[in-house]
Amino acid sequence: DGGITQSPKYLFRKEGQNVTLSCEQNLNHDAMYWYRQDPGQGLRLIYYSQIVNDFQKGDIAEGYSVSREKKESFPLTVTSAQKNPTAFYLCASSIALETEAFFGQGTRLTVV
């Protein structure tokens, strides 16, 4: 089945630690995205990538980093510089402009 897979579903992190969220797609999509969702704030764009080996900052990139070494994979690292990392993180992909985004099931990150 084609789709987009995020792992893990739940993640706990101690303050001061970096953590990496996985996102893999087998839809052969060029564009991939990372969003953060907080209650009452909707989805906010962290990073996006239009093509392999290229990515751009979104609206809230501070404290996050990404890589796009393969078309299928777009991992997100939440660094210790992110002051309020507890949130629901969503990865998405799309084939091109004017097409829908396909979302993963999300990773809920909690800092303990």
Q: Give the interface with another protein as residue ranges (CB under 8 A).
A: 6, 31, 33, 35, 40-43, 45, 48, 50, 58, 88, 90, 92, 94, 97-106, 108
Of 85 and 104, CB closest to another protein: 104
CB atoms within 10 A of CB 84: 9
Give 43-50's long-range contacts (Cβ < 8 A, gap of 24+): 43/90, 46/76, 46/89, 47/76, 49/74
Q: Which amino acid is at 44?
A: R
Of 2 and 16, CB closest to another protein: 2
Of 80 and 108, CB closest to another protein: 108
